[in-house]
Structures are given as structure tokens and as C-alpha cells.
Amino acid sequence: MKNVRVSVRAVCYRDNALLLAEHRDERGLWYILPGGGVQHNETLDQAFDRELLEETGGKAKMGDILFVREVLADRLDTNYLPAHLHQIEMFVEATEFEIVAEPAEFDKDQIGFVWMPLEKLDELLFFPKAMVQSFQNKSFDKIYQGHIR
């Protein structure tokens, strides 16, 4: 049996922009919200702090869970996720963001981070694509969003 991975992602708005981790690979540029896996014996808020610092050099106040989604790699038509990945992602509100250091450790293919204007989200290779309208409206209609891409 494979383990289920839990991750936490920061949803951080500034004016009409969203903080995104920027990546580049053979597909070109692509974007996700900063965050990542919760390590053994680490709480969600500790993982939130660590991941933000690693990927952006920033700190923020962790707010409420906005929504949860599930990723099952074996049910997606992609070669870009690890085989058999089953991940539960918690997207949490991030407020009072400030840069406090240089980013400590970019993820694979990460080249930086950007404040992306909300109106540009639907033009990007952005994950989770199914949530673009919710991010643009700053409105999440239910907590569990299911298995989405």
C-alpha cells in the first residue's frame, strides 16, 4: 500500500494579484501556489512556514483552510507527476506576507516566484486549473473540491 501525502499551499493575495511559484521545464513556464509536503512530526502551520520560506523567502500569517483537493496521479493523463502519487492538498489563507530572507530551497524546476495579476490566471499553465475562477473571484464555494487537475 502506498502512503497518502499531505501538503499545504499558501493562498496569498496582494491587491489584485496572487503569489505563485514560477517553474520552467520543457512545457515552458508553469505556476502553482507556494507550498509542499508536510514532513513527519511537522504540524500544518510548521510546514506552511517552512515551505513559504524555502520557496519565496517570505513569512505570512496562516489563516483558515479555504479548500482541500485531492490528486491521484494514476487517474490523470500526465507524465509530470510521480507514479502512484496520492496527495491531499490543503489550500490555506496567507495574510501579512513579507520577504524576510532569500528563498532557501526552490523545488525542482522552480525558477522564482511572482505576483500574478488575477486576470492573467486563465492564460497560464496553472495548477489547479479547475480553480482559476475561484481564485479570481476570491471565493471558494465548498471546502472539499475533490480530485481535480
Q: 11: Cβ–Cβ under 8 A, 6 or more apart, which residues?
A: 18, 33, 66, 91, 92, 93, 94, 135
pTM exceeding 0.85:
yes
Question: CA–CA separation, 78 vs 74, rounded Å?
Answer: 9
Closest CA to 36 of 69, 10, 57, 59: 10
pLDDT digits over 123-138, tens only? 998 989 889 999 999 9
Beta carbons within 10 angstroms of residue 20's beta carbon: 22
Question: In this model, does residue 145 exceed pLDDT 50?
Answer: yes
pLDDT digits over 90-131, tens only? 999 999 999 999 887 787 789 999 999 999 999 998 989 889
Question: CA–CA separation, 76 vs 127, rounded Å?
Answer: 13
129 contacts 135 by C-beta, under 8 angstroms: no
Q: Domains along the chain?
A: 5-147 (3.90.79.10)
Please give the mean pLDDT across all residues of the chain. Answer: 89
